[in-house]
Structure 1
Amino acid sequence: MFELNRRDLLAAGAAGVGLSMLPRLAAADGCVFPPEGSIGYRVLREGDEIGQHIATFKRRGDDLIAINDIEIVVKMLGIPVYRYEHRSEEVWKKGWLTAVESTTNKDGKKKSLRGERRDEAMRLVVNGEKNRSVSGYVVTTSLWHRDTPFEQGLMDIEDGEVKLIKGQLVARETVPVGNGEVEARHYSVTGEMARELWYDDRCRLVRVEFNTKKDGSRIILEPMAET
C-alpha cells in the first residue's frame, strides 16, 4: 500500500518542493553511474514494437551527461493514432543533478523544461515561463539513475512536478538483453508513478515494465542488443 504523505514530504523542503537531502551514491555493488556509452531499448506495447529509446552517457570534465531520446508511434491498421517524442539532457556533478533540459511532444501537446541548481535547489522554468523549485537531492523520472527506486519523490523530467513514490526490492533475476541475458535486481515502484525496474551490477537500467494509464496496455523497454 502506498502510504507516503504528500504534505509531510513537501513540508520538509526548505524552498519549493523538498526531496531527500543527500545523494545515496553507490547504492548497489559500488557503482555510482552507468559506464560511458549508449544503450538502445526497444519499446513494446502488448508485444508489438512501437518505438525506440536511446540512453547515452558521457563525461565532460567532472560532469556526467545523461541524454535520453525517445520516439514512439502507435498505429492501428497501419494508421498512426498516437505519437510521443522526448529528448532530455541531465548534467550531474559529484553525485548531484546540477542542470536539466527537456522537450516533449505528447501527441501534439508540447512541453519544455529547463533548470539549474542554485542555492541548494533546482530552479526550473516550465514551458518558458512557469518557475518552480525542487530542493534537496533530485532524481528525475527518466529512470536511468540507480537511486530511482530508493527515493520518496521523483522530479518529472517533462514538467518538473514531483511524483511521490515508494520502491521495494523484489528479487535478483535473470533478464533478456538482446541476444543474451544479464543478472539484475528487480524493483517495484508504486505511488504516483508505477514501474517495474531492473538494474544490473554496473548500474545500468536493463528493463522497464508498466501499464499505461490511458488503456492499461503493457509497455516493456528491453535492450536491443547485449550490453
Structure 2
Amino acid sequence: MTSACTKALWLPLAAACALGSSGAEAAEWRFRVLLDGVAIGEHRFSVTRAEDERQVVSEADFVVKLLGIPVYRYRHRASESWRGDCLMQLATFTDDDGKVSQVRARPGDNGRLDVTVNGASRSLPGCTMTFAYWNPALRQQTRLLNPQSGVEERVQIHRVGDGALDVRGESVVAQHWRIEGPAAPLDVWYSRQGDWIGLDSTVAGGRRLSYRLQ
C-alpha cells in the first residue's frame, strides 16, 4: 500500500481509497478503547471491497489494570467474507480473560448459513449480518449474529438524534443511533457523511466502554 493511500485511510470522516487498477477499495478504522474514560487498548477494522465482495478483518486487544497490575485481558480476532450485505463466511477467535471461544460460519444448504461454536453446529437463515457497524445496511436489520458468541440476537435499531463527539481531539457533530437487544444498548455514532466514528456501551459493573476513532 502506498504512503498516499495510507494517509487517505486516516482522514477524519472518510476512510476509502482505490488499490491498484483492479477497482478494489479498502477502508480502515482504528479505535481507541476506553473504560470509564481510561484507555485500555484498541480495536482495528479493515474492509477490502472488490465489486460485490468484501473481506473484513477485525482485531481487538484490551488490558485493564488496577494499580498498574493487569486484572483483565481481552483478545479478539475475526475474519469475514461478504457478498453484498450478506455474510458468507466467518472465522473468529476470542480469549475473554482466559475463556476461549471459536466461531465458524459458512454457506449451508438452501441458502442458509451454517454456524459452528466450539464444535457445536446450527443453521441460520440466509443473508445474516454481524454487528457490522461500518455498513449502513446494519440500521435496517432486526437480527444480527454475534461474532464472539455465535448467537443470533434480535435487535431494534433506531435513530436517537444528533450530538457532539470528540474525534481526534476535536468536537464533531455526530448522528446517534441505538441498538437495543438482549444485552445492554449500544450507542453507535456516525459522521454527517455516514462514516462510523464511535461507540458506547455499558458493561459489567455498570462501567462505560467507549470506542473513539483515532
TM interval, short-chain normalised: 0.7 to 0.9
Which residue of the partner structure matches residue 199 of structure 1? Answer: 190
**Quick one: which of 170, 194, 209 aligns to 1:219?**
209
- For the 8 Å contact 1:142–1:157, the answer to whether it is kept is no
| 1:204-227 residue CA offsets vs partner (Å, 9 max, x unmatched) | 321100110x21101110011xxx
Task: State the partner residue of 2:131.
Answer: 141
Equivalent residue, structure 2, for 1:162: 152
Q: Which residue does the alignment assign to 1:30?
A: none
Gaps of 5+ in 1: 1-33
2:175 to 174, 185, 198: 185
The one-letter code matched in structure 1 to 2:187 is: E
> Normalization by structure 2: what TM-score?
0.80
RMSD: 1.9
Output the CA distance in 2 between the equivalents of 1:83 and 1:199. 28
In 2 relative to 1, CA 202–89 (structure 1 residues): closer, same or farther, beyond 3 Å? farther
Which of 165, 168, 188 is residue 175 of structure 1 equivalent to?
165
What is the Cα deviation at residue 185 of structure 1?
2.0
Higher percent of residues as helix: 2
Answer whether contact 1:149 1:188 (CA < 8 A) is retained: no
Q: 2 CA distance for matches of 1:201 and 1:140?
A: 23
Structure 2: which 5+ residue stretches go unaligned? 1-14, 17-25
Q: TM (normalized to structure 1)?
A: 0.76
Give the Cα–Cα distance (whole angstroms) in 1 for the partners of residues 202 and 81 of structure 2.
29
Between 1 and 2, higher relative CO (CA 8 Å, sep ≥ 6) is seen in 1
Runs (4 or more) in structure 1 with deviation over 3 Å come to 179-184
Q: Which aligned pairs between 1:113-152 and structure 2 lie closer than 5 A? A: 113-118=103-108, 119-127=110-118, 129-152=119-142
* Match for residue 57 of structure 2 among 39, 63, 67: 67
Paired with 2:63 and 2:132, the residues of 1 have a C-alpha distance of 19
Q: Kindly state the Cα deviation for residue 175 of structure 1 after the two structures are TM-superposed.
A: 2.5
Q: Are residues 90 and 203 of structure 1, via their aligned partners in 2, closer, same or farther at CA, if it must alter by over 3 Å? A: farther
Most deviating of 109-118 and 59-68: 59-68
